A = this chain, B = another copy of it.
Amino acid sequence: MTQPLIRRLCVIGVGLIGGSLARALKQAGEVGEVVGSGRNEDNLQAAVRLGVVDRYDIDATRAVVDADVVMLAVPLGAMATVLRDIAPYLSPDAVLTDAGSAKGSVVADVKRVYGVIPPNFVPGHPIAGTERSGVEASFATLFQHRRVILTPLAETAADAHRLIRRMWELTGAEVVDMGVRHHDAVLAATSHLPHMLAYTLVDTLARLDDRAEIFRYAAGGFRDFTHIASSDPRMWHDICVANREQLLEMIALFSADLSRLAEAIRNDDREAILAIFQRAKRARDNLYLD
């Protein structure tokens, strides 16, 4: 019998991401025990019933005791509180990691609680998810062929970094390293901005007088386009706050480009309109083969 990679894993926030990680590691036989924690006891009971965690403790300060790895899979807005709560109870060797969609804010929260960046802290972000949430939505293969971005810091211990990398690789993910600011810029562009556009579009239409009629004629393209507007509002509120600066920068860039397109349409500037559409089509077609 070989030892599992992680003897005891504590997952705080056993939702889609935390639950899927626990499932994947259990399926790989690479975790001895999984302890869950979180605010919602019904959800934690479901997690036990579904076999996602072996046991839970609603009190995170007890749940983290003697864990080798503590995964913070809570909303970004809850990170600071949870970090402050658990800090005194982590075992000295415990590796702390997270799954937050923005990394600068989590790093700042950690620094605020610890005064320094602890060597055993490895910030991470699995680029995966669906519009569903909660442990019932979790599944072991969520991370297969998905990317997980780690943003280790100068202070991060090589051992801790290696352990978290290995943990994610066991879920079938491709793990890459990136700087904190760079991560937040890339995600602002590819994920945070598109979510703002989808939410705004649906909200703009939902406030029109003939919204019922309008939504009746929304066809396939609209469905795909607005899919991400079904995401969890609270989670996305937190992301807006956590990555405010870079998100606002991207919204400003986009708004300026949209104004330019509107101007070209107003002036029937055929060349300008075609140039935008052709550039975009080329970029999109090069990106995917669908």
List the interface of chain A (C-beta within 8 A of B). Answer: 127-128, 146-147, 149, 182, 185-187, 189-191, 193-208, 210-211, 213-215, 217-219, 221-234, 236-237, 240-241, 244, 247-248, 250-255, 257-259, 261-262, 265-266, 268, 270, 273-274, 276-285, 287-288, 290
What residues on B are CB-neighbors of A278 within 8 Å? 233
The CA-CA distance from A128 to B262 in the complex, in Å, is: 25
B217 touches A244 (CB 8 A): no
Q: Are B283 and A205 in contact (CB under 8 A)?
A: yes
Secondary structure at the A interface, as helix, strand, loop or mixed, is helix
Contact A255 B258 (CB under 8 A): yes
Q: With the chains together, A211 CA to B207 CA distance in Å?
A: 34
Copies of this chain, complex-wide, total: 2
Contact B217 A147 (CB under 8 A): yes
Chain B residues within an 8 Å CB radius of A222: 190-191, 194
Residues A237 and B270 in contact, CB atoms below 8 Å apart: yes
Measured between beta carbons, the chain B residues less than 8 angstroms from A214 are 186, 189-190
Cα A227 to Cα B252 with chains together (Å): 23
Of the candidates A147, A204, A251, A266, the one having the most CB atoms from chain B within 10 angstroms of its own CB is A204
User: A265 CB to closest chain B CB, in angstroms?
Assistant: 5
Besides A186-B210, A187-B217, A225-B227, 13 more A-B contacts (Cβ < 8 Å) are A128-B219, A149-B217, A182-B210, A189-B205, A194-B201, A202-B280, A224-B224, A224-B228, A225-B225, A226-B287, A233-B277, A234-B274, A251-B262
